[in-house]
Structure 1
Amino acid sequence: MSILDENISRSSDLDGGLKVTGEMKRNWFTTSKWAMFFAILGFIQIGLSVLMLGSFGSTLQMMSALSGENTMMAFFSMIAPYVTALTIITSAVFFFIHFYHYRFASFIQRSINFTDQTAFEKAWMNLRNNVRLFGIMICVMLGFYLLGFLAFVFMGGVAAMGM
């Protein structure tokens, strides 16, 4: 990735710089408002997810006590720690995705309002980090989907051999 960044910086020195128009500034400012809105919605979603996680354990215990010797409740009790860990990890990853999105929005607004070149560069660095982290998360999810599909095919093959 650094090679690509070096090639871009060398080529931008040769073209004499880009021209920033008023329309571009208006579009960036509108984009920053939407980015801020979605980042705040993301933080709210993470908060609700963590709140629901807090009530998950007590709800599971109550359901287990009310159901008696139900085998399904034993299964739920067995997977509860994994669900908790997965929720915490997912919430942490999404926190950073929304955090970078929020920083992008705030730095773009600062750069437009105060003509701050450093804030402008930080804004695009945060957007790059946002997209990079989101891309890594998508690749991990695709890996889990592939793993689940292979497990499904394997179990189907085992079930077919048993018949």
Structure 2
Amino acid sequence: METTVEEKYQSPQIPNNLILTPEAQSFLLSSGKWASFLGILGFIFCGLFLLFALSVGTIMTKIAELQPGNPAAMMMAGMGGGLSVVYILLDLLYFFFALYLYQFAVKIKAAINFNDNFHLTAGLGKLKSFFKLWGIVTIVILALYAIGIICFIAFAASMASAMHG
């Protein structure tokens, strides 16, 4: 069967008459309050973690100074700068989680309090961004786990063959 130009797929029309019941509005408002709390707490922890990230190099150096003959302590002192960079990048990632949650909270509370569809749409967009980021990070972590497992199996196989050969 041939497809003609008139038979092209068209996406179904979504009606614009969605109505939020008072119960749904209450759920969204409560979610907004919790998201606000978690977002602010996230910002606070980002600040504390940033302070730790900036001082981890100094901490590692001081540990090495306390144990001058310990080669492991000397190696830790050398890794302090790299560890600071990794921690700052992780902190930046965590900041975006907190930011998206907080933006969702602000917009969703405004939408419910002022009966405003624009803020409702923007708030749900921030919630979508939060879950999209969460999904991407989860995929990356799962991929790292898979690579780690493959590397462990390859290492174990090479050790087993070295023992027998």
Which of 119-128 and 86-95 deviates more? Answer: 86-95
Q: CA deviation at 1:77?
A: 3.0
Counterpart in the other structure of 1:37: 37
Per-residue CA deviation, residues 85-110 of structure 1 (Å, 9 max, x unaligned), is 22111111111111011010100100
Q: CA RMSD in A?
A: 1.8
Identify if the C-alpha distance between structure 1 residues 79 and 68 changes in structure 2 by more than 3 Å, giving closer, same or farther. same
Counterpart in the other structure of 2:103: 103
Percent identity reads: 27
Per-residue CA deviation, residues 52-80 of structure 1 (Å, 9 max, x unaligned), is 11221111111111211322123323433
Q: CA deviation at 1:111?
A: 0.7
Counterpart in the other structure of 1:154: 154
* Equivalence map 1:14-163=2 (5 Å): 17-163=17-163
**Aligned amino acid, residue 121 of structure 1:** T
Q: CA deviation at 1:82?
A: 3.2
Give the counterpart of 2:14 among 12, 17, 42: 12
Radius of gyration: which is bigger?
2
Q: CA deviation at 1:51?
A: 1.3
**Normalised by the size of structure 1, how large is the TM-score?**
0.85
**Aligned amino acid, residue 105 of structure 1:** A
Identify if the C-alpha distance between structure 1 residues 82 and 141 changes in structure 2 by more than 3 Å, giving closer, same or farther. farther
Q: CA deviation at 1:84?
A: 1.9
Question: What is the rounded CA distance, in whole Å, between the counterparts of 1:28 and 1:56 in structure 2?
Answer: 40
Q: CA deviation at 1:114?
A: 1.0
| Structure with greater helix share of residues | 1
Unaligned regions of 5+ residues in structure 2, if any?
1-9
The runs of 4+ residues in structure 1 deviating greater than 4 Å are none
The size of the alignment, in residue pairs, is 154
Counterpart in the other structure of 2:6: none
Q: CA deviation at 1:30?
A: 0.6
**Aligned amino acid, residue 38 of structure 1:** L
Unaligned regions of 5+ residues in structure 1, if any?
1-5
